Amino acid sequence: MDNQQRNIWVLVTGASRGLGQALCVGLAEKFGGDLMLVGMARSEDGLKKTAAMVDGANNKTKFIPIVMDLGTADAEGLSSAMEVSFKAEGRSGSPKRALIIHNAGTLGHLKYLRDQQDLAHATEYFRLNVSSVISLNAIFLDYMRTHHPKTSLEVVNISSLCALQPFKSWGLYCSGKAARDMLFRVLAAEEPDVTVLSYAPGPLDNDMQATARSATADQELRSAFASMKDEGKLLSCEESVRKFLRILDAKKFKSGDHVDYYDEL
């Protein structure tokens, strides 16, 4: 049995692929056996791949996969997942740091707003990309403060340039990211003892970007994405994670700030 006290606990949503997977691997490389890592995602197969990659990065990191669809989960399910994730580990003591990284997200329909007539799709979009974030974050903070009151708490929102600038035919995505940024600015104001960061990882060479190049309704924007790919201007997820970890270490941001990959900090 592994009785090692792990001083850093991290929960990453959307951990089965792309940036979430790279975050898990990067955290394992950085913290090794000091880390207890919970990966949450819809895909069981994807989480198995992430587990293997984490083990390859550092086999002393403890990885716990949680198969959960944040688009349909209720508060009871999220609370149960939190309990399952952390209860056994907590028997050996409290961590010094606990971090939640809200990475899970979707693009939604990449249509002009004049064509967004599907109320069910819009409702489902905001449930996954905004509402579930509010609930999971509150459950995380409550659990940690109840069971580990001396633990230092950190919250990271994976944001986007789209939170700050309008992208034509990306109304759902832009508004969802903007809402999340503001939610976490409010959290920083409400909870001065919690470190809060919204990190925009830059234009990534991942599945989401591939979808953007093919499904974006606005031709000018779609062409711009294609040019970035052709000209090698997209970032690898691993490169963005390395920058994120440096930003988190340096702590030069004000709690609640939006920090972009390209910002000099």
Lowest mean pLDDT among 50-54, 168-172, 189-193, 206-210: 206-210
Share the mean pLDDT of the chain. 95
Give me the pLDDT at residue 2, please. Answer: 55
Domains of the chain: 8-260 (3.40.50.720)
Q: Give the single-character DSSP code of 234.
A: P
Identify the CA nearest to 43 among candidates 13, 79, 9.
13
Residue 69: pLDDT above 80? Answer: yes
pLDDT tens for each residue of 129-173: 999 999 999 999 999 999 999 999 999 999 999 999 999 999 999
Q: How confident is the model at residue 1 (pLDDT cuts 50, 70, 90)?
A: very low
Q: Is the pLDDT of residue 3 over 90?
A: no
- Mean pLDDT for the stretch of residues 5-34: 96
pLDDT, tens digit (0-9, with 9 covering 90-100), for 202-236 = 999 999 999 999 999 999 999 999 999 999 999 99
Specify the amino acid at residue 64: I
How large is the average pLDDT for residues 15-19? 97
The pLDDT, as a whole number, for residue 84 is 85
202 CB contacts (<8 Å, ≥6 apart)?
235, 240, 260, 261, 262
Is pLDDT larger for residue 50 or for residue 3?
Answer: 50
Measured distance CA(38)–CA(85) in Å, rounded: 7
Q: What percent of the chain stands above pLDDT 90?
A: 92
- Residue showing tokens 């990659």: 53
How many angstroms separate the CA atoms of 196 and 104, rounded?
A: 17
Q: What is the pTM of this model?
A: 0.95
Does pLDDT of 5 surpass 90?
Answer: no
